Amino acid sequence: MSRVAIVGAGAVGATTAHDLAAAGVDVTLFEREPIDWDGTATPSRTPADAASARAAGVVYDAYAEDIDAALGARSLERFRAFDDTRGFRFHDCPYAICVREGDTERAEATRRAAERMRSHGRPVETVAPDTFGDWFPTLVADDLAVTAVADNAGWADTADYVAAMVGEARAAGVTVRDETPVTLSDATTLTVADESRSFDAVVVAAGAHTARLCEAAGVDLAAVPYRVQALTTCVDTGGPNVAATERTDAATTGRTAPAASEPHPGPMWYDATAGTYARPHPEGLLVGDGTVPKPADPAEWRREADDWFQTDALAVARERLHGSVQSTTDAWAGVCTATPDGDPLLGRVTEGLYVATGWQGHGFMRSPAHAELLATRVAADINDDPDPPATLDGVLAAFDPTRFPADVTVEVREGMLVEERDPQT
């Protein structure tokens, strides 16, 4: 049986491990942080400092590029299939892009992007502000120029997903080695506790640490870590509200305002003018972005959210929501990884060595599909499959981790920007 090592037990690493084990591969999953177990095969705690645990958990397929849209749809399909697995829950919830009056350039870009999303079969509607306000009366709409609403979307607790996938991977036969930092001696050899171990293939899915780990094997990746931030808050809606999934006769259908410990009943939304997004959260509302546009040291970075971010994020939430937005209940920072073109580095970098990084803040939402792609590629390579899936090479070519020259410049930018790029083919 072929032997594969996966470095990093986040959303991508754990899902890749599960998918490879399901394909009959002998997999060892290495994680430098501790994983606590509840006495069964399900973790009660996953690495709290990892990128996946600090991610927002927003999921949608509303992409203007064909490959991104297809992979977003596949991730949603898999998230829904994993729903109710080992405590993981996926919550269907519309996602809305909002552009304010006076922001003409973004408004036009949003209209064009929504049209391209529809051309790829994505259920996205461009909605007038008054209609938007009727659909979602918990949101302020009278200052908006245009909105685009994606119905195929939802949110999830990211730590719960990782715990479920690590548990599923272990149940499928994956050997999980937590509290086990590793280094690469070469493409297929890991140094583990001063001992060299060779594998048929190695997958590095270690988030912001991926580039550093690969340097030891002589591989340079065009990926730069940077900080992003999020917070949670309660919202006192002060009256009847309409759940995000109940759009029919929205102006007259109401329900009792949620308690402080319940998710906010509105949709997920991204205020493109302010550069801030929000989604329902078990404590009320999660609000985020707070991109710090400069490189961050993946080993030494500020885990707490900055005061300026908390002030700005709460201000946007108060402008966008009806009701009273309370003070912060929790706030934190995470690390994302940027690439020169905003697309991930996914696939083989040299014989036997594969990487997964560079999602520009979209890693969790695409993790089930990207892990599936990566696992299929690795399994086909180590088994010398003469007839791998026809779409595999074409899709992975767009994310080829060797596509950039060694001296390429990487600009850190907000991951959710509404912008237009050359279509992927």
pLDDT at residue 325 greater than cutoff 60: yes
Residues 296 and 379 in one domain: no
pLDDT, tens digit (0-9, with 9 covering 90-100), for 75-111: 999 999 999 999 999 999 999 999 999 999 999 999 9
The CATH number given to whatever domain includes residue 325 is 3.30.9.10
Residues 206 and 314 in one domain: no
Residues 391 and 243 in one domain: no
Q: Note down the domain range covering 22.
A: 3-56+158-223+340-397
Q: How many domains does the chain have?
A: 2
Residues 38 and 174 in one domain: yes
pTM score > 0.75 for this model? yes
Identify whether 402 is part of a domain.
no
pLDDT at residue 28 greater than cutoff 50: yes
Residues 48 and 178 in one domain: yes
Residues 213 and 169 in one domain: yes
Identify whether 253 is part of a domain.
yes
Structure tokens at 64: 């203007």
Residues 100 and 133 in one domain: yes
Shortest CA distance to 362 belongs to which of 80, 68, 92, 166?
Answer: 68
Q: Average pLDDT of 370-399?
A: 86
Identify whether 389 is part of a domain.
yes
Q: How confident is the model at residue 409 (pLDDT cuts 50, 70, 90)?
A: confident
Identify whether 424 is part of a domain.
no
Residues 15 and 144 in one domain: no
The answer to whether the CB of 181 falls within 8 A of the CB of 99 is: no
pLDDT, tens digit (0-9, with 9 covering 90-100), for 169-190: 999 999 999 999 999 999 999 9
What pLDDT sits at residue 307?
Answer: 96
The CATH number given to whatever domain includes residue 43 is 3.50.50.60
Identify whether 291 is part of a domain.
yes
The answer to whether the CB of 188 falls within 8 A of the CB of 353 is: yes
